[in-house]
Structure 1
């Protein structure tokens, strides 16, 4: 592995979305466990996802977002996605989202992917900060972001609709100093 290589380590690599990722994206985007944190109220169609894949420039400056696939190095299996969304060039910050297929959770892949994304965002894209809004009861995500240098910076009260009520969200940020 190159000394200055971005988006890769000895267990995983992050790569742009390819047309063959359609089915795994369809599975992930339409999985009920991710609905709570998204702002979409209807399932994604294969057509919509295919159009996204075809029309994305994979350029955070052009698209104001960047989606990367998390790929396990040992077998080139896509195991999740990691995103920078809501990118604002003037302020050099964006939101981070990460989703790992249930089968591959709790194996350290998410932390590796988040560290690689942060390194790329800060050292190559020259971003100032990344942030994440994490549901207050999502202990695994709170621990993940904390372990990668994100710190709590606020609470959004009753931010997410959850069943018959609302739940708070912890705002976390990582500043490139």
Structure 2
């Protein structure tokens, strides 16, 4: 299996979203979620929302690929190209054929189909890469919107990982979801689009 991955962040379109590299003009979006009760706890979004911390966040997103961590995409509205969230393809374990994904959509843009479209777009792209045989996603059980988006995009729930991840001051259980590349063997049943 080839572990060669694209050396640049592509621009991917799947209306109503476009996935693209973060830009300086996305700073107001990052600042707008700094006081969200969850996003700064489970991501590297700064809880301060200061110009300096937001700029550092944007710099980190550009460095992810060079550091071998993966691809951090701004989720943008397809028509306006304004950022509404973030999604990543995390490739630190890609030498084993596995990668993972995670995403967030700013509260003011939720319930518009952005998360589902972004996840479908990223999944289709990732499953087309020779290096990715399995794509995983971890979701807290209470986050029904997120796991419903995963299921709608063909991810199968494999189980509950107890005390899987530190979130704030607590260890949290996570559902584990995955999709499997057709080239890697039997495919997990996909939910129709």
Q: TM-score range by the shorter chain?
A: 0.7 to 0.9
Question: Cα–Cα, structure 1 residues 163 and 94, in superposed 2: closer, same or farther, change >3 Å?
Answer: closer
Pairs within 5 Å for 1:27-42: 27-38=32-43
Q: Which residue of 2 aligns with 1:144?
A: 149
Tell me if structure 2 keeps the 8 A contact 1:61–1:89: no
Moved more, 112-121 or 90-99: 90-99
Tell me if structure 2 keeps the 8 A contact 1:151–1:172: yes
TM-score (ref. length: structure 1): 0.79
Unpaired stretches in structure 1, ≥5 consecutive residues: none
Tell me if structure 1 keeps the 8 A contact 2:97–2:132: yes
Q: Which residue of 2 aligns with 1:20?
A: 25
Q: Aligned to 1:64, which of 56, 66, 69?
A: 69
Q: Aligned to 1:78, which of 77, 83, 88?
A: 83
- The Cα offsets for residues 90-131 of structure 1, whole Å up to 9 and x where unpaired, read as 123222111111122122111111111011112146411211
Tell me if structure 2 keeps the 8 A contact 1:58–1:66: no
Q: Which residue of 1 aligns with 2:189?
A: none
Pairs within 5 Å for 1:60-139: 60=65, 62-85=67-90, 87-124=92-129, 126-139=131-144
1:53 Cα deviation from its structure 2 partner: 3.0
- The Cα offsets for residues 147-168 of structure 1, whole Å up to 9 and x where unpaired, read as 1111112212133567886542
Q: Aligned to 1:172, which of 177, 180, 189?
A: 177
What is the aligned residue count? Answer: 173
- The Cα offsets for residues 41-67 of structure 1, whole Å up to 9 and x where unpaired, read as 965754344235346556747432211
SS in 2 for 1:90: helix
